[in-house]
Amino acid sequence: MKTIPNGLPQDSASHWVPEVHLNLNVRGLKPSATVAINERSNKLLASGREIFKMGLGQSPFPVPEIVVEQLKKYAHEKDYLAVQGHWQLREAVCEHHRRTLNIDCDPKNIIIGPGSKELMFILQLVYYGDLLIPTPAWVSYAPQAQIIGRHIDFLPTKAKDGWRLTGDQLERLCQKDPGRPRILILNYPSNPTGMTYSAEHLREIAEVAKKYRIIILSDEIYGKLHHAGTHASITQFYPEGTIFSGGLSKWCGAGGWRLGLFVFPENLSWLLNAMTVVASETFTSTSAPIQYAAITAFKEHEEIEQYLHHSRRVLAGLGKHLASMLQKVNVQVLSPEGGFYLFPDFESYRPMLQAKGISTSVELCDQLLEDTGVAILPGVDFGQPPEELTARMAYVNFNGSKVLEQAFKLKDNATIDEQFLQRNCHEPLQAVERICDWLDAL
Ligand code: GLU
C-alpha cells in the first residue's frame, strides 16, 4: 500500500491507519508512562498475577466526605459554565490561596481546567518560548513541549544537591542568550523525587528569573502534601512573573475528578486571555458538578484541615520508613519531604545487575516487575540518562480510607511507627521487602 503525503493510504478510503505516519506531531512519542504503567499493571492483575501498583502517582486517600456530599448535591448541574471557571469557585480558590500561601490574587485572573495537565499544555501552546525543565521531572512536561514543537533546555540536578535546581545553574543557562523568551517549570514538592525547596532556595531562583524576565510555571500540586505542612511558594518572591498551578488531584484524593487551576498575576493577564481563547475552542469548560463540589474543598473547614493533617502524617511516616528500608540495603535514596514518591538509585548493585543482563533503568524495572510483581517507573521516563539505574516509586498502594481512620484515632503526638505501618499499610512495606530480597539474591 502506498502512502500519499497527508498520510492516508492511496488505494482504499476505508484504511485509516497509514503505513507511514508522515504528518503526526506525536512521532516518536508513546502514551504517557504513568498512564501506561497503570494499564499494564491492571492487565497483569486481571490475568491473576500479584502486582504491587507503585507506578501511577494517584492519591490513596478518599475524597473528603463533605466534598463528596456536595458533588451529590450538585449532580443535576448540567449547564456549561464560564470558560475560565465558575465565578464562585474562582472566588473560593482566590480566598484559599490568599489564606494559605499569601498569594495576592483576583478571581478574574484564575482559570479552572480539566486537570492542570491540560492547562500546562495550553500554556505552552499559546506562549512562544523555550521550556526549561529541571530534571528529574514529571513524565509529561517534555512530551507536551515536543508535541507543540517547543525547544526544551533540560537542567539536570543531582541527588547530592537534594535534586534541586540552583540559581547559579539557571544563571549559566540564561547568560548564553539573555533575551530569549523562556518558561521555567518548577515542581515542588517534587514528582518524582519527593524533595522540595525552602524559601531560601526559592528566593535565589526568583532573583535570576527576575533578572532574565523568565516566566515561572510553579507546579505546586503537591504543596499541601508537604510532610511538615510548611510549604513555601515562589509566588512570594517573584509574584509578577509566576503562574501558580494547583488542583484537587493530589491533596484531595480526586485525580479522576480532573480539576486543575492556574492563578495568574495581573500583569500576565494577556497570557491568561490567550489561554482562555484556546480553552473555549477545546474543552469549553470544566465539568459543572465537579466545580460546584470543589468550592467546598477550597473553603476553610476543620474536617478538611484534619484530613490533610492526617494524610501528611501517614505519608511522612511511610515515606521515611520505606526510604530507610532501602538505605539499609545500600540503595541510595533521599527521605522524602513531601508528596508520595521516592526516587531510589540502584547504582551500587550495577555489577550484579549487569551480570543478569540489566544495564538500564527500563531493564531494571521490567525485570523487577517480572520477578517480584512490583511496578515502578524507570528514571529514563523522568528525563534521566537511560543507563542511570534510578526509578520512581509511588508509595500509594494501600487502603487510604482504612489508614486515615486509624491515624485519626492516634494521639497527635504519637509517631507513625513501624507497627502502625505494618498493621495499616502493609502493601508498600511488602513491596519494598520484595525489592530488598530480590537485590540480595542477585
Ligand atoms: N501525576 C501522576 C503521576 O505522575 C499521574 C497523573 C498523570 O501523570 O497524568 O504519576
Q: Both 143 and 288 in a single domain? A: yes
Query: Is 22 contained in some domain?
Result: no
Average model confidence (pLDDT) for the chain?
94
What pLDDT, on a 0 to 100 scale, did the predictor assign at position 19? 55
> Closest ligand 1 atom to the C-alpha of 140?
8
Q: Both 287 and 312 in a single domain? A: no
Residue nearest to atom 7 of ligand 1 (CA): 34
Query: Is 67 contained in some domain?
Result: no
Q: Is the pLDDT of residue 16 over 90?
A: no
Query: Is 433 contained in some domain?
Result: yes
Q: Both 146 and 94 in a single domain? A: yes
Indicate the residue among 278, 299, 320 that finishes a domain. Answer: 299
Q: Both 248 and 327 in a single domain? A: no
Query: For residue 43, how far is its CA from the centre of ligand 1 (angstroms)?
Result: 19
What pLDDT, on a 0 to 100 scale, did the predictor assign at position 250? 97
Residue nearest to atom 3 of ligand 1 (CA): 57
Q: Is the pLDDT of residue 1 over 50?
A: no
Residues near ligand 1 with C-beta < 6 Å? 32, 34, 56-57, 117, 138, 140, 191
Mutation choice for ligand 1 from 30, 53, 54, 140, CB with most ligand atoms inside 8 A: 140
Cell numbers describing residue 226: 508537604
User: What mean pLDDT is predicted for residues 175-204?
Assistant: 97
Q: What is the CATH number of the domain that holds 376?
A: 3.90.1150.10
pLDDT band at 10 (very low <50, low <70, confident <90, very high): low
Query: Is 8 contained in some domain?
Result: no
Reduced 3-state DSSP string for the chain: CCECCCCCECCCCCCCCCCCCCCCCCCCCCCCHHHHHHHHHHHHHHCCCCCEECCCCCCCCCCCHHHHHHHHHCCCCCCCCCCCCCHHHHHHHHHHHHHHHCCCCCHHHEEEECCHHHHHHHHHHHCCCEEEEEECCCCCHHHHHHHHCCCEEEEECCHHHCCCCCHHHHHHHHHCCCCCCEEEEEECCCCCCCCCCCHHHHHHHHHHHHHCCCEEEEECCCHHHECCCCCCCHHHCCHHHEEEEEECCCCCCCHHHCCEEEECCHHHHHHHHHHHHHHHHCCCCCCHHHHHHHHHHHCCCHHHHHHHHHHHHHHHHHHHHHHHHHHHCCCECCCCCECCEECCECHHHHHHHHHCCCCCHHHHHHHHHHHHCEECEEHHHHCCCCCCCEEEEECCCCCHHHHHHHHHHCCCCCCCCHHHHHHHCHHHHHHHHHHHHHHHCC
| CA dist., res. 177 & res. 199, Å (int) | 28
Q: Both 268 and 146 in a single domain? A: yes
pLDDT band at 159 (very low <50, low <70, confident <90, very high): very high
User: What mean pLDDT is predicted for residues 184-190?
Assistant: 98
Q: Both 143 and 240 in a single domain? A: yes
Between residues 11 and 357, the one the model is more confident about: 357
What pLDDT, on a 0 to 100 scale, did the predictor assign at position 24? 74
Q: Both 226 and 152 in a single domain? A: yes
What pLDDT, on a 0 to 100 scale, did the predictor assign at position 280? 98
Query: Is 14 contained in some domain?
Result: no
> Closest ligand 1 atom to the C-alpha of 115?
9
Q: What is the pTM of this model?
A: 0.94
What pLDDT, on a 0 to 100 scale, did the predictor assign at position 412? 75
Query: For residue 16, how far is its CA from the centre of ligand 1 (angstroms)?
Result: 31
Instruction: Provide, rounded to the nearest whole percent, the portion of the chain with pLDDT above 90.
Output: 90
Q: Is the pLDDT of residue 406 over 50?
A: yes
Query: Is 10 contained in some domain?
Result: no
Query: For residue 279, how far is its CA from the centre of ligand 1 (angstroms)?
Result: 21
Residue nearest to atom 8 of ligand 1 (CA): 34
- 217-232: pLDDT as tens digits: 999 999 999 999 999 9
pLDDT band at 415 (very low <50, low <70, confident <90, very high): confident
**Least confident piece of the model among 12-16, 114-118, 316-320, 360-364:** 12-16
59: left (phi over 0), alpha (psi -120 to 50) or beta: beta
Query: For residue 415, how far is its CA from the centre of ligand 1 (angstroms)?
Result: 29
Indicate the residue among 243, 266, 299 that finishes a domain. Answer: 299
Angle at 121 between CA 25 and CA 229, to 5 degrees: 145
Mutation choice for ligand 1 from 38, 141, 191, 257, CB with most ligand atoms inside 8 A: 191
| CA dist., res. 193 & res. 337, Å (int) | 9
Query: Is 161 contained in some domain?
Result: yes
- 301-359: pLDDT as tens digits: 999 999 999 999 999 999 999 999 999 999 999 999 999 999 999 999 999 999 999 99
Are 126 and 274 contacting, i.e. CB atoms less than 8 angstroms apart? yes
Neighbours of 161 (CB within 10 A): 12
Q: Both 43 and 131 in a single domain? A: no
User: What mean pLDDT is predicted for residues 72-82?
Assistant: 98
Query: For residue 249, how far is its CA from the centre of ligand 1 (angstroms)?
Result: 9
Mutation choice for ligand 1 from 32, 34, 185, 191, CB with most ligand atoms inside 8 A: 34
Number of domains in the chain: 2
User: What mean pLDDT is predicted for residues 148-153?
Assistant: 95
Domain, as residue range, for 146: 74-299
Indicate the residue among 299, 326, 358 that finishes a domain. Answer: 299
Q: Both 336 and 434 in a single domain? A: yes
Q: Both 282 and 372 in a single domain? A: no
> Closest ligand 1 atom to the C-alpha of 191?
4
Q: Both 276 and 201 in a single domain? A: yes
Query: For residue 57, how far is its CA from the centre of ligand 1 (angstroms)?
Result: 5
Q: What is the CATH number of the domain that holds 186?
A: 3.40.640.10
Query: Is 351 contained in some domain?
Result: yes
Q: Both 161 and 247 in a single domain? A: yes
> Closest ligand 1 atom to the C-alpha of 138?
4
Query: For residue 138, how far is its CA from the centre of ligand 1 (angstroms)?
Result: 8
